[in-house]
Structure 1
Amino acid sequence: MPTFEPFHALRPDPKYAEAFSSLPYDVFNRAEGRLEVRRRPLSFLRIDKAEVTLPDLIDDHDSRVYQQAVLHFKEAIERGILLTDDVESYYLYRLTDGTHTQTGFVGCVSVADYDQGIIRKHEFTRPDKERDRVRHVQSLAAHTGPILLAHHPDDELNRVVSEQTSQSPLYQFTAEDGIEHTIYKITDRDAMMTIGSQFARHDHLYIADGHHRAEAASQVARLNPHEDAGLFLAVSFSSDQLNIQGYHRVVEDLYGQSVDDLLERLSSRFNVTEGRATETKKHRFEMYVKQKWYTLDYEKNRGSVKEDLDVAILQDELLTPFLGIEDPRTDARIQFVGGVRGYDGLEQLVDQGTMAVAFHLHPTSLTELMAVADSGEVMPPKSTWFEPKLRSGLLIHPFF
């Protein structure tokens, strides 16, 4: 049974919440991050990706990066931008994009639950990214970015959401991208007891996004004797609320073949028709090349849930045999495009000559994600793209 605990949050004074909060560190490259902190000088990105405040000649993983993060972190505390809540609390985090609303519970989960598989994962992590987050968390003695979790629908937890969101929010603002972020603080004793006991009734929680942060928390717990280092920050949403979009692929060349040759070869494994599809669905792929869209339908069932994922089919049945992409994690010829950019973003990459061909995928479902995690397997890289994104810096779990 999962542990889900309240905590003493380190959080911004409400008057700074919008200016201080930031999109996650890993959605920015260094140049983008540098522009972001120039434009928003209070941005939490100065702490979460401190290399953007240092000269380019300093490597991203230089020890000075983490020293700089600590300086920015201490400055925010000393200036009164960040304050510590006086009581242990749970929080609700609501995101609204105008057409979709989702509300998750913010609390701390257990490293032991993660290590024992009660908190289930579905993807491999990269050692270099693990090391970066381990050094960041250990330097700050704080978990700064929440792990996105999913839990099975729960009527009692839904009732708590309904009751608590009728109260005045702690924070409420609309970011520049149009996403409304609302945080509610929960201190009511009965509500807190319900939250803890209801999460304990679930067999498992599932990591939707944040595998590197979760693995880093596990490693830090082995290095840091502080009791609270054995807990890490998470936001858990009911699986029927999370919004997954397609995680698309673009490839920089056609592997030495013409478009006509590629289409002819693809017809041996897919039903190929010219034009975009009228609807996206499982086992349907849309390909953009030479300013034309093509629809590729795959009609076989490959067996296990993992093998039958669209991202696995595209990799095994197209990218490897026809475009020579053997390992998408290491091949520099392939890039991944999150669903928010959609068709227009894919067309732009191909039309401007940056990439030769783009593939638009139907979203992986939460049911598929959970089934793969329950089977103890891992999904192919870049299988899921979640929108809207949680902002970092609104709630921090310190252990100092």
Structure 2
Amino acid sequence: MAKIIPFKAVRPTRDKVCLVTCRSYEEYAPAELAAQLDFNPLSFLHVIKPAYTNQEKVSFEKRYRQVHQKYQDFKSENILVKDEKPAIYIHKIVTKNQSFTGIIVGTSIDDYRNNIIKKHEETLAFRVRVLKEYMQYSEFNTEPVLMTYANNKNIENWIFERTQKLADFEFSTTKKEINYLWKIDDAIEIDWIQNILKTENLYIADGHHRSEAVQLLAQENENTKNTSQDYLLSYLISENNVKVYEYNRLIKDLNGMTKEAFLKEVSVNYLIENKKQLPFQPTEKHQFGMYLDNEFYSLVLRNEKQDFKTVLESLDAQILYKTILSPLLSIKDLRNDERIEYMSGKQSILELKTIVDEGEFEVGFFLFPSNIEEIKALADANLIMPPKSTYIEPKFRSGIVIYEF
């Protein structure tokens, strides 16, 4: 059911790839970003963040045109080179704790519209439009949408066989990750993988805004002959090869309540155990950790409160919202309320403790991570997760593979 296509990727040359690719610029601290831009002229950061020192003074359109021009400069200098034949690409990322291997392809915007590519997150119209305009003016995309497919032994065996050969490139990053890329341009092999994936639904794990932005771009240009906008740069990975982390919550105040009054209200829905100074992290669903006034607490949802009618109602992020964040702390808008912030589960709960102890926040909540089955069930039921419910790996580096519109 899912349609995939090969494409002519633009990629760094083998000798420059380790210098070109970069993390999302939002992940860099200001000093690190400045150092990269000052001392590494080959960094793809120069493309996605041109004239970074005065960008706040530049209009969106002018900035995006600068991105396009810098991208063309990288191509003219042979830092980036376009492949001669359409291909699909196997990409492997090895971190300290895990290895991820997936296939980079183009996926169909029609499949996205027709819910063959399934979604579980709501998008913000403003962010979608900004991304659409970025792609429209820059004329490329280098951040694939992470999609999962059902575990498939045939695909797994094929990937294993192909990755035994010498990679087109292999490089390490300053984060001690190793990246590999294999180009597959054999028409028979491409046809084989296309036929296998025709029987699959694909689930967006990360990249809902990018998907919607390309859909909008294709919609606005549907009368043109530019069919490249009908496809979405995607990284397809087996559902058993993704890592799902939780997002923990930091709240700035108790909505005018005393600590004692707040705990009394929480106890209506939860069995509370004071862990004192012993750090506590949930080990199963419907169990939450809380840090308040220099002490850790265990919160276990009372059995009589567990009458869930949908998968959304049983989701821990939704339970916390419905039982504490909204009714007790008056946090209604999880995206825009300035009293709440989020920390990914990759960060230690001791980091959250330190932030609360510094005084900007009064209470922190720790969640048990969701799993891929919950994400699929939500997507199948056309239900939407609360914002910041999952932090999903792998994360893709910019500049490895570029899809041109």
What range is the shorter-chain TM-score in? over 0.9
SS at match of 1:55: helix
Q: CA RMSD in A?
A: 2.0
**Paired residue for 1:208, among 198, 205, 215?**
205
CA contact (8 A) 2:93 2:180 kept: yes
Which residue of the partner structure matches residue 192 of structure 1? 190
Q: Report the CA distance between 1:303 and its aligned residue.
A: 2.2
Written as runs of structure 1 = structure 2, the 5 A alignment for 1:58-97 is 58=57, 62-97=60-95
Which residue of the partner structure matches residue 171 of structure 2? 173
**Paired residue for 1:373, among 370, 376, 379?**
379
Q: Report the CA distance between 1:49 and its aligned residue.
A: 4.4
Which residue of the partner structure matches residue 142 of structure 2? 144
- State the distance in 2 between where 1:328 and 1:278 align: 22
- Tell me the alpha carbon deviations over residues 44-74 of structure 1, each in whole angstroms, 9 at most, x when there is no partner: 2333344x61415426x63221122112211
SS at match of 1:139: helix
Residue 318 (structure 1) aligned with residue 324 (structure 2): yes
Change (3 A) 1:211 1:30: farther
- State the distance in 2 between where 1:250 and 1:219 align: 34
Which residue of the partner structure matches residue 287 of structure 2? 284
Change (3 A) 1:364 1:87: same
Which shows bigger deviation, 144-153 or 25-34? Answer: 25-34
Written as runs of structure 1 = structure 2, the 5 A alignment for 1:296-311 is 296-299=299-302, 300-301=305-306, 302-311=308-317
Which shows bigger deviation, 213-222 or 274-283? Answer: 274-283
- State the distance in 2 between where 1:280 and 1:127 align: 36
SS at match of 1:392: coil
Structure 2 residue identity aligned to 1:133: L
Structure 1 residue identity aligned to 2:134: H
Structure 1 residue identity aligned to 2:286: H
**Paired residue for 2:368, among 348, 355, 362?**
362
Change (3 A) 1:339 1:32: farther
Structure 2 residue identity aligned to 1:297: V
Q: Report the CA distance between 1:120 and its aligned residue.
A: 0.8
Which residue of the partner structure matches residue 267 of structure 1? 267
CA contact (8 A) 2:289 2:296 kept: yes
- State the distance in 2 between where 1:230 and 1:211 align: 16
Structure 2 residue identity aligned to 1:266: V
- State the distance in 2 between where 1:140 and 1:375 align: 36
CA contact (8 A) 2:112 2:118 kept: yes
- State the distance in 2 between where 1:317 and 1:266 align: 8
Q: Report the CA distance between 1:175 and its aligned residue.
A: 1.5
CA contact (8 A) 2:142 2:398 kept: yes
Q: Report the CA distance between 1:27 and its aligned residue.
A: 4.1
Which residue of the partner structure matches residue 14 of structure 1? 14
- State the distance in 1 between where 2:320 and 2:45 align: 35
Q: Report the CA distance between 1:28 and its aligned residue.
A: 5.5
Q: Report the CA distance between 1:87 and its aligned residue.
A: 1.0
Q: Report the CA distance between 1:207 and its aligned residue.
A: 0.6
- State the distance in 2 between where 1:29 and 1:68 align: 22
Which shows bigger deviation, 272-281 or 95-104? Answer: 272-281
Structure 2 residue identity aligned to 1:143: N
- Tell me the alpha carbon deviations over residues 239-290 of structure 1, each in whole angstroms, 9 at most, x when there is no partner: 0110001111111122122222222221111111122447521111111122
- Tell me the alpha carbon deviations over residues 367-398 of structure 1, each in whole angstroms, 9 at most, x when there is no partner: 00000000111111111101341112100111
CA contact (8 A) 2:90 2:104 kept: yes
Written as runs of structure 1 = structure 2, the 5 A alignment for 1:195-274 is 195-202=193-200, 204-224=201-221, 225=224, 226-274=226-274
- Tell me the alpha carbon deviations over residues 78-133 of structure 1, each in whole angstroms, 9 at most, x when there is no partner: 11111001111111111121321121111000111111111111111112211111
CA contact (8 A) 2:145 2:210 kept: yes
SS at match of 1:246: strand
CA contact (8 A) 1:96 1:102 kept: yes
SS at match of 2:241: coil
Change (3 A) 1:31 1:271: farther
Residue 113 (structure 1) aligned with residue 119 (structure 2): no
- State the distance in 1 between where 2:334 and 2:32 align: 24
Q: Report the CA distance between 1:36 and its aligned residue.
A: 5.0
Structure 2 gaps of 5+ residues are none
Change (3 A) 1:180 1:31: same
SS at match of 2:254: coil
CA contact (8 A) 1:22 1:45 kept: yes
- State the distance in 2 between where 1:251 and 1:33 align: 29
Structure 1 residue identity aligned to 2:210: R
Q: Report the CA distance between 1:191 and its aligned residue.
A: 2.6
SS at match of 1:354: coil
- State the distance in 2 between where 1:341 and 1:41 align: 31
Change (3 A) 1:104 1:84: same
- Tell me the alpha carbon deviations over residues 184-204 of structure 1, each in whole angstroms, 9 at most, x when there is no partner: 1112344322211111111x1
SS at match of 1:340: coil
SS at match of 1:244: strand
Which shows bigger deviation, 30-39 or 119-128? Answer: 30-39
Which residue of the partner structure matches residue 393 of structure 2? 387
SS at match of 1:77: helix
Change (3 A) 1:280 1:35: farther
Which residue of the partner structure matches residue 54 of structure 2? 55
Structure 1 gaps of 5+ residues are none
Change (3 A) 1:117 1:243: same
SS at match of 2:328: helix
- State the distance in 2 between where 1:278 and 1:139 align: 45
**Paired residue for 1:328, among 298, 309, 334?**
334
- Tell me the alpha carbon deviations over residues 143-176 of structure 1, each in whole angstroms, 9 at most, x when there is no partner: 2210010111111111111111001112222222
SS at match of 1:42: coil
Q: How many residues align?
A: 396
CA contact (8 A) 1:119 1:205 kept: yes
- State the distance in 2 between where 1:48 and 1:57 align: 14
